[in-house]
Amino acid sequence: MWLAQLAERNRQCFPNRTALVDEHRSTTWAEFHDRTAELARGLAELGVRRGDRVVVLSQDRVEVLESYFAIARLGALFVPLNHSVAAPEAAEMIERVGAVALLGESELLDRHADLPSVRIRIAFDKPEFAALGSTAPEVELPEVADTDPVAVLHTSATTGRAKGVTVDSGSFRAIALGWLVQARPTDDIVLVNCCPLYHGSMVVSLTYMAAGATLVLLPGFTPQRALAAVEQHRATHMWLVPQMLRFMFQAKAAETADLSSLREILYGAAPMPIDVYTDAVRRLGCGFRQVYGMTEVGGPFVTLGPDEHPEPGDVTARIPCGRVIPGMSARAVDKHGAEVGRGEIGEIVVRGPGVMQGYWNDPDATREVTLDGWIITGDLGFLDSDGRIHLVDRSKDVIIRAGQNVYPSEVERVLLTHPAVRDAAVVGVADDDYGEVPLAHVVAEGVTAGELLAHLKDNLAPYKRPRRIEFTDAIPRNPAGKILKKQLRT
Amino acid sequence: MSTIRTLLVELTGTEEFAESVGDDVDLAASGIDSGDLVRLVLLVEQRTGVEITAEDMEHLRTIADYERFVSERAATTGGA
C-alpha cells in the first residue's frame, strides 16, 4: 500500500529527519512511521475495519496526516472535511459517507453531537488520542491493494454541493510517481503548506512527503503565519493559491521577513494574476511552479516548471498550465468527445491511474463527468505545439452573448492589467437583447467605472466588454482561492 | 463606531455584521469568512500603522482584543 510504503521508505532513508512540523510539535520520519502503525492498531482495537469511513475534522496539524496514514493502513477510508462549513452541511456529509468514527479537534467535534452512524469520537487535543494504540496488541494489519479505496476527498464545490470523490491507493501512487519524475522534488525541501489538508490539494503535500521533504503545517493561512514559518524553518518551498501571495505582500511583516531561503513557489487552484506574479518574482527572486489539478483526477496532474514561466513585467503574458505528468493523459475534445487540433479550444479530459473510482454512492453524478473512461474536467483549454495545456475558462462559466463565447477569465485578465484594480470577477447576467452579457465585479481604488470601461474598450472586442462595473470590497472565494461565481450571479 | 467595527463594515459591505457581533465574541466563530479575517488584520495594519505578528494574532480573537491591542501599541509607539 502506497502510503505505508512511503512511510517505511522514509523511515529507512531519513529516520531522524523532520517529516512534519506544526505550531505545537514536530515528528521525525521514524516517529511518524511508528505512530501511524500504532494509531492503526488502536483504531483496529476500537473496531474500525477495512472499508469503514473515518471522518477527520481539523485544522492542519501533524495529527491530521498521522490519522490519514493510519486509517489507510487499515484499509479504511479517511474522509477529511472542510471544518469551516456550517454544522448542518458537515453533518450531511458525515452521514452521507456513513462514517463510523470522527477524529479531530475537540472544538470542531463538539459541533456535531448527534450523528447516528458515528460510534467512535476521539479528539486530537485530548489524552485519549495520545494514548490511542499505545497498549493495543501487535496485530497483522491487512494487505491493502492499489485498487482498494482509501479516501473520500470532497470537491471544493464552486458550483454547488461538495461531492465525495472516492480515491484508491493506486491513485496516490500514480500521481506521486508522475510528479516525482516531472517536478523532481528533492529530499532537502522544506515546504510550507498554506493550503488546507481537507481537500484534493492535499495530494500535493503527500507527493512532497514521498520525496522525503519536510512539511510545515499551518492551522489556517494568514500572511503573518506563512511569513513567520518561512523564516523560522528556512523553508525552500511554499504551496499556496495566488491570492495568498497578494495578501502576504500586503502584510507589514513582509517588509522585514527574511525569505531568502525560498527556492520555489508552487501555486494552483486559480490563475496567477500577472501583477502578483511580477511582484512576487521581483521580491522573492525564486522559481515558480504552477500546479493544475482536480480532485476527480487524483490531484495535481499538470505542472509548469520555473524555466517555462514568463519574464516578470510582461503584462500581456499568459501563463500556460504546463504539461501532463508521466502516467496520466490529457487532451482537449469537442462536444462529441473527439480530440481537437493543436491550438483549438476544447474541453480538457483526463484519464490514467490517478483518476477517481467515482463519486461516493453517486453513480449518476459519476456518469455525468465520465466519457469513455476519460474524466471531463469542466475546463476549457487547448494544447500548444509543445504539449502544454492552456486553460481558457470553466465551461460552466462561459458567457454566451448572442451566440458569441465570452471567456470571463480573459475579461478579468484585462481588468487586472489596470493599475487601480486589485481583484476582479466576471459573470454572465441575463439580458433581453443578447441572452447574456458580462458583468464585472471589481475591487479597486481611485478609478471610476467609466475609466475602467474605457480601459476595456482599448483591449477587448466590443462583444466581450462588460455592460456594467460593480465595485465591491472583496471577490468571494472559497478556501482554495476559487471565485464563487454562483454568489456573484445572485 | 469603534475603529475595528468601522473596518468590519468596510470589509463586509454592511453594518449588519459589525453591529450584531459582541465585543467579546470570537470573530472566527461568528460566521465571518476566514478570508475576511485575513483582510481585517491587513486593514488594521494599513490604517493604524501597527504591525501585527503571527504571535500577536494568537491573542487577537475578538473586537475587544483588537481595540485593546491597537490602543496599547499606539500608546507605546506614540502613533496610530
pLDDT tens profile A424-448: 999 998 877 677 789 999 999 999 9
Q: Do A473 and B10 touch (CB under 8 A)?
A: yes
Q: Pick the residue with more confidence: A393 or B24?
A: B24
Give the residue among A475, A484, A479 at the shortest CA–CA distance from A220: A479
pLDDT tens profile A276-321: 899 999 999 999 999 999 999 999 999 999 999 998 877 677 889 9
Query: What's the whole-number mean pLDDT along residues A12-36?
Result: 97
Query: What's the whole-number mean pLDDT along residues A406-429?
Result: 89
Asked whether A202 and A215 are in contact (CB, 8 A), the reply is: no
Rounded to whole angstroms, the Cα distance separating B71 from B48 reads 10
| Residue in B39, B46, B54 closest to A474 by CB | B39
Query: What's the whole-number mean pLDDT along residues A464-486?
Result: 83
ipTM greater than 0.90: no
Cell numbers for A203, please give them.
495530494
Interface test with A, best of B26, B33, B42 (most A CBs within 10 A): B42
Asked whether A267 and A290 are in contact (CB, 8 A), the reply is: yes
DSSP state of B44: H
Identify the weakest region by mean pLDDT among A2-11, A23-32, A309-318. Answer: A309-318
Q: What is the pLDDT of residue A158?
A: 52
Asked whether A11 and A223 are in contact (CB, 8 A), the reply is: no
pLDDT tens profile A44-71: 999 999 999 999 999 999 999 999 999 9
Query: Is A201 in a helix, a strand, or coil?
Result: coil
Cell numbers for A64, please give them.
491530521
Rounded to whole angstroms, the Cα distance separating A389 from A268 reads 14
| Residue in B10, B12, B57 closest to A224 by CB | B57
Q: Which burial class, exposed, middle or buried, applies to A483 when counting CB atoms under 10 A from its CB (0-12, 13-18, 19+)?
A: buried
Query: At residue A345, does pLDDT exceed 90?
Result: yes
Identify the weakest region by mean pLDDT among A104-113, A118-127, A262-271, B11-20. Answer: B11-20
Q: Do A473 and B46 touch (CB under 8 A)?
A: no
Rounded to whole angstroms, the Cα distance separating A93 from A300 reads 24
Query: At residue A364, does pLDDT exceed 60?
Result: yes
Query: At residue A85, does pLDDT exceed 90?
Result: no
Query: At residue A160, does pLDDT exceed 60?
Result: no
pLDDT tier at B80 (50, 70, 90 boundaries)?
A: very low
Q: What is the pLDDT of residue A270?
A: 77
Query: At residue A358, does pLDDT exceed 80?
Result: yes
For residue B29, what is the nearest residue in chain A, using CA coordinates? A84
Distances, alpha carbon A207 to alpha carbons A98, A186, A191, A211, A215, in Å: 28, 11, 11, 7, 11
| Bridge partner residues of A469 (DSSP) | A440
| Residue in B42, B51, B52 closest to A247 by CB | B42
Q: What is the pLDDT of residue A486?
A: 75
Q: Do B46 and A250 touch (CB under 8 A)?
A: yes
Q: Do B41 and A472 touch (CB under 8 A)?
A: no
Q: What 3 state SS string does A308-332 have? A: HCCCCCCCCCCCCCEEECCCCEEEE
Backbone angles phi, psi at A279, to 5 degrees: -60, -45
pLDDT tier at A156 (50, 70, 90 boundaries)?
A: low
For residue B8, what is the nearest residue in chain A, using CA coordinates? A473
Residue for cell digits 453517486? Answer: A362
Query: At residue B77, does pLDDT exceed 80?
Result: no
Rounded to whole angstroms, the Cα distance separating A84 from A90 reads 9
| Residue in A220, A224, A253 closest to B34 by CB | A220
Between helices A29-45 and A62-73, what is the axis angle to 10°? 60
Asked whether A418 and A338 are in contact (CB, 8 A), the reply is: no
Query: At residue A246, does pLDDT exceed 70?
Result: yes
Backbone angles phi, psi at A444, to 5 degrees: -155, 160
Residue for cell digits 449588519? Answer: B16
Asked whether B50 and B74 are in contact (CB, 8 A), the reply is: yes
Query: At residue B72, does pLDDT exceed 80?
Result: yes
Residues in chain B whose Cβ is within 8 Å of chain A: 10-13, 33-39, 41-42, 45-46, 51-57
Q: Do A222 and B38 touch (CB under 8 A)?
A: yes
| Residue in A84, A225, A476 closest to B54 by CB | A225
Average pLDDT value over all residues in chain A: 91
Query: What's the whole-number mean pLDDT along residues B18-23?
Result: 86
Residue type, A181: V
Average pLDDT value over all residues in chain B: 84
pLDDT tier at A161 (50, 70, 90 boundaries)?
A: low
For residue A120, the tally of other CB atoms under 10 A from its CB is 15
Asked whether A347 and A333 are in contact (CB, 8 A), the reply is: yes
Backbone angles phi, psi at A293, to 5 degrees: -150, 175
Q: What is the pLDDT of residue A482?
A: 76
Give the residue among A152, A143, A136, A129 at the shortest CA–CA distance from A54: A152
Give the residue among A147, A153, A206, A150 at the shortest CA–CA distance from A176: A206
pLDDT tens profile A191-237: 999 999 998 889 999 999 999 999 999 998 999 999 999 999 999 99
Q: Do A252 and B35 touch (CB under 8 A)?
A: no
Give the residue among A246, A446, A470 at the shortest CA–CA distance from B39: A246
For residue A346, the tally of other CB atoms under 10 A from its CB is 21
What are the helix (H) ranges across A127-261? Answer: 127-131, 169-183, 202-210, 223-233, 242-250
Q: What is the pLDDT of residue A481?
A: 72
For residue A230, what is the nearest residue in chain B, using CA coordinates? B54
Give the residue among A304, A263, A266, A261 at the shortest CA–CA distance from A286: A263
pLDDT tier at A403 (50, 70, 90 boundaries)?
A: low
Query: At residue A157, does pLDDT exceed 60?
Result: no
Q: What is the pLDDT of residue A450?
A: 87
Q: How many CB pairs under 8 A join A and B?
A: 52
Identify the weakest region by mean pLDDT among A468-472, B18-22, B63-67. Answer: B18-22
Cβ-Cβ contacts under 8 Å, B57 against chain A:
222, 224-225
Q: What's this model's pTM, rounded to 2 decimal places? A: 0.85
